[in-house]
A and B are shown apart, each in its own frame.
Chain A
């Protein structure tokens, strides 16, 4: 039993390391090759846990090999467009100028239901509202609505303004986020002044956020009895 326990710990660490090595992606955003690697890694990792007669190297070596190959391959595909097309395929247009490309949909084995389901994600229930739709290499459909149905944006009414970064969290549950302070171009002196003004210690702060204009929001910790 302990063998299985220790093996599970080692493989858990290895799988986390492997996934981190592959980079940050959500399951739905994985490229075909990445999806295959993820499934393979999870499958291979279970083998040495289930069967103690199999040496750990039988699990470790293929996992590291697959993940390393995937990282190297993605680096190569970044440099070569042709290789990228071979490995990941290319996006396909299924609606252009409001017209559905039925041949392309057939080729992609996309049903009308699949298309409608994806349009619903964009709050589109009438296909006549769609100007352009494209199936990305991840299988996700991206949609552009016709001009008449698009939401009004500030630029449509010539309401121009400065674009700013969102507020950053400077204190998270009593812990100072030095990276965020640096990002906003602030320093500890500024933070200490605010804390002094509010008569609180860092450890008493539940959340403090601040934007580039030094507008801040401070929430104190509730008394825990």
Chain B
């Protein structure tokens, strides 16, 4: 009986843990996307200092997110976003138009991480 209770508890913990991890990813994603929106907004308004500040904030958030999510997601998915993150500061200082496309790439990558974790019917089968 103890064994069955233990197994049932394991299954419950897995289900709760997996569901909570989805909420965690979604919440962190929103935070990251919001920060990126500020970056593009400030960059468009030519407020470079504020945009730089937001990029720093985004980098900090990304580092935390990376550690958290690396327990759940293949690291190759995260590396692509990390590479794009590393370019942001340089692109802003160069006043390059590529900054916006990199931001969009990051947003897409982050959304993809969540979508890949969500148990859609097409993902399951």
Contact = CB atoms under 8 A, between A and B. Distances in A.
Interface in B9-34: 10-11, 14, 18
Given A61-B14, A64-B14, A71 B71 contact: no
A61 B6 contact: no
A57 B71 contact: yes
Contact of B11 (A53, A58, A69): A69
B75 A68 contact: no
B71 A72 contact: no
B73 A55 contact: yes
Given A21-B6, A61-B14, A54 B74 contact: yes
Contacts, number: 41
A99 to B, nearest CB: 43
B7 A72 contact: yes
Interface string A44-67: 000000001111111001001101
A75 interface: yes
Contacts of B72: 55, 57
A137 B29 CA distance: 51
Interface residues of B, number: 16
Contacts of A57: 71-72
Given A53-B76, A71-B3, A64 B71 contact: no
Interface in B36-95: 70-76
Q: How large is the interface on A (under 10, 10 to 19, 20 to 34, 35 or more residues)?
A: 10 to 19
B11 A68 contact: yes
A71 B4 CA distance: 6
Question: Main SS of chain A's interface residues?
Answer: helix
B8 A55 contact: no
Contact of A55 (B11, B18, B75): B75
Given A61-B18, A64-B14, A65-B14, A53 B7 contact: no
Given A55-B75, A64-B14, A71 B70 contact: no
Contacts of A69: 7, 11
Given A55-B70, A61-B14, A71 B7 contact: yes
A67 B9 CA distance: 12
Contacts of B7: 21, 67-69, 71-72
14 contacts: A23-B3, A53-B76, A55-B70, A55-B71, A55-B73, A55-B74, A57-B71, A57-B72, A64-B10, A64-B14, A65-B10, A69-B7, A71-B3, A71-B4
Interface of B: 3-4, 6-8, 10-11, 14, 18, 70-76
Given A54-B74, A69-B11, A71-B7, 14 more contacts: A21-B3, A21-B6, A55-B71, A55-B72, A55-B74, A55-B75, A61-B14, A64-B10, A68-B8, A68-B10, A69-B7, A72-B7, A72-B11, A75-B4
Q: Across chains A and B, which 8 residue pairs bring their CB atoms closest together, nearest first?
A: A68-B7, A71-B7, A53-B75, A68-B10, A75-B4, A53-B76, A68-B11, A64-B10
